[in-house]
Homo-oligomer: A and B are copies of this chain.
Amino acid sequence: MSGPIQSIERAAAILRLLSGRSRRLGVVEMAGQLGLPKGTVHGILRTLQSVGFVEQDRDSGKYQLGAALLHIGSSYLDANELRTRALNWADALATQSGESVRIGTLHEKQVLIVHHVFRPDDSRQALEVGSLVPVHASALGKALLAHHRYLLADLGSGPLPSYTPATITDVKRLGHELEEISGRGWASEVGDLFPGVASIAAPIEDRRGVIAGAISISGPIERLCESTVPRGELVGYVMETARTVSRELGAIPW
């Protein structure tokens, strides 16, 4: 045995399908998308159901993700060293800046949010842990890309998806900004993803010197920026926190 195990790969593909756009899918639908006979897909689904990774809607017969995955998935957070080490500092940064804080890692050419602290004051906000945000339209993403430049090529040659008029859609222009970012050590985004909201992010370094993640603050442009430039004071907070977490991870021994 040398290659990966076929049935497990297929099971994973099914789970990934179910975690995509459409929450619920039928057997033939998945079989079609995966190019597999429906009997095969059904066998895998039956197994996934027996272990609780998938549930079947009794009325429609369609399948959806199972509860066991929620628990397993959130267990990942405990094992994630970046997150556990950064917990307290993220809180402190939220208090200091008065804005919401996010920590993210690269995952499949996107940014996976592994921690999220709400803005201190008020207001009910949706928890974003576990969600994916685009690399090219977020401060977190740019901070990460700047130190994993090889990924830029994987984003394709065509224009990048646009979310607001301010989104950078040109790969070349993004490349230039990444250059700047890696030079100065922080990234920002002003209305690139959601109109009216800005973010400031800084990369977090690993024990091995690799950029393992990034931390950011987000809020209304008026609060984060002086006209359209991020306030130096806030940039300082973010960078300082990132450096502290990096040290906590063993990146900077001195």
* A27 interface hit (Cβ, 8 Å): no
Query: Is B12 a contact of A91 with CB atoms below 8 Å?
Result: no
Query: Is B5 a contact of A43 with CB atoms below 8 Å?
Result: yes
Query: Is A70 a contact of B76 with CB atoms below 8 Å?
Result: yes
Query: Is B73 a contact of A130 with CB atoms below 8 Å?
Result: yes
Query: Is A79 a contact of B50 with CB atoms below 8 Å?
Result: no
Query: Is A23 a contact of B79 with CB atoms below 8 Å?
Result: yes
* A114 interface hit (Cβ, 8 Å): yes
* A124 interface hit (Cβ, 8 Å): yes
A residues 37-90 in Cβ contact with B at 8 Å: 39, 43-44, 46-48, 50-53, 58, 64-80
Query: Is B108 a contact of A70 with CB atoms below 8 Å?
Result: no
What chain B residues lie within 8 Å of A52 (beta carbons)? 107-108
* A153 interface hit (Cβ, 8 Å): no
Given contacts A73-B76, A74-B129, whether A105 and B67 have CB atoms under 8 Å apart is yes
From B4, B64, B91, B112, contact of A46 by CB (8 A): B4
Query: Is B4 a contact of A5 with CB atoms below 8 Å?
Result: no
Query: Is B9 a contact of A11 with CB atoms below 8 Å?
Result: no
A222 to chain B, nearest CB (A): 25
Query: Is B65 a contact of A8 with CB atoms below 8 Å?
Result: no
26 contacts between A and B (CB under 8 A): A4-B47, A4-B51, A5-B44, A7-B7, A8-B11, A8-B51, A9-B47, A9-B51, A16-B68, A18-B75, A23-B75, A23-B79, A64-B79, A65-B72, A65-B76, A66-B76, A67-B105, A67-B107, A70-B73, A70-B114, A70-B130, A71-B107, A71-B131, A73-B74, A74-B131, A127-B127
Task: Give the copy number.
Answer: 2
From B48, B71, B72, B107, contact of A8 by CB (8 A): B48
From B24, B39, B112, contact of A67 by CB (8 A): B112
Given contacts A71-B131, A108-B52, whether A44 and B76 have CB atoms under 8 Å apart is no
What chain B residues lie within 8 Å of A7 (beta carbons)? 5, 7-8
> B-facing mask of A105-135, CB < 8 A → 1, else 0?
1011000101001100000100101111000
